[in-house]
Amino acid sequence: MSMSGLYFDIGRKARDLLYKGYAQQPANHLQGIDCSLDLSCQIRDIVPGLRTLFNFSIPDSAKVELQYLSDYGGISGGFGLKSDPLAGYNPLINFSGLIGSDFLSLGTDLAFDISTRTFNNFSAGLSFNSDFLIASFNMNDKLDTWKASCCCVMNPSTETAIAAELKHTFSVNDTAITIGGQHALFPFTLVKARVNTHGRVGGLIQQDLWEKLALTIGGDVDLLDIKSFPKIGLSVAFRV
């Protein structure tokens, strides 16, 4: 579960291009079918600048979040439940803040685990934004994981863009580079592909069937592991 509030927007453009929609590690297994369900909604303008968000990721997590936004920043607070294989569901409290402008912004995120009375996460980051280039630097997972990413929009009319991410995790001394791109073949058909230095290659096709319904077929394979099988995922998104 992402309990990262407004902080989640830092680096989101590159992250969505490189990871959103791809076949992921299955969350649940039911009679030979790996499945999960994500539901989210938000209520805007409760009062000017204030909105509420709800998210349910079955069987992984659930959260509710309250955000206040202004022209030069915002704050958010949330409460959620995160699945734990040993302890069931852990309750988390999250606080997130963002300050800056459309050109440069700074943000931080703090999560507290009520059951263990420990800080579950602390993250910080900054983002540089322009019409052509969006770049960011994040320090996540209690500052254990450092990521630098960028996304270049080549042609907005065809959604053509490329993105790259450099990620280093100190606890396991692991460094990975991921690059990817996307292009709209037709107004309602988007294709994406990515590859990283660990030998993982992925791709997907997203088709908008109707105005509020999208179908995505994605695949992922580890080229360095001859014993692994390609993962193929199918997802349906309904927007209201």
Query: Count of domains in the chain?
Result: 1
Q: What is the pLDDT of residue 28?
A: 41
Residue 115 tokens, joined: 């059951």
Residue 190 tokens, joined: 């988007």
Q: What is the pLDDT of residue 200?
A: 93
Q: Is 32 exposed, middle or buried (0-12, 13-18, 19+ CB in 10 A)?
A: exposed
Alpha carbons 154 and 195: distance in angstroms, whole number: 19
Which residues, in sequence order, are CB contacts of 68 under 8 Å at separation 6+?
Answer: 49, 50, 74, 75, 76
- With beta carbons less than 8 A apart as the criterion, state whether 232 and 217 touch: yes
For residue 179, the enclosing domain spans 5-238
Query: Residue 24's domain is classified under what CATH number?
Result: 2.40.160.10
User: Does the global pTM surpass 0.85?
Assistant: no
Q: What is the pLDDT of residue 27?
A: 40
Give me the tens of pLDDT residue by residue for the chain, a chain 240 residues long. Answer: 344 567 888 999 999 999 988 865 444 443 445 556 667 777 877 778 888 888 777 667 788 888 888 888 899 999 988 777 666 678 889 999 999 988 899 999 999 988 888 888 899 999 999 988 999 999 999 999 999 999 999 999 999 999 999 999 999 999 999 999 999 999 899 999 999 999 999 999 999 988 778 899 988 999 988 887 888 888 887 766
Using the structure block, give the residue that is written with the tokens 């499945």: 35
Sign of CA dihedral 11, 138, 166, 194: negative
Torsion of CA 28, 33, 34, 36, to 10 degrees: -70
Q: What is the pLDDT of residue 23?
A: 64
How far apart, in Å, are the Cα atoms of 25 and each of 34, 35, 63, 183?
Answer: 9, 10, 21, 25
Q: What is the pLDDT of residue 58?
A: 67
Q: What is the pLDDT of residue 35?
A: 58
Alpha carbons 82 and 236: distance in angstroms, whole number: 23
Alpha carbons 191 and 183: distance in angstroms, whole number: 6
Distance of alpha carbon 102 from the chain centroid: 20
Q: What is the pLDDT of residue 32?
A: 46
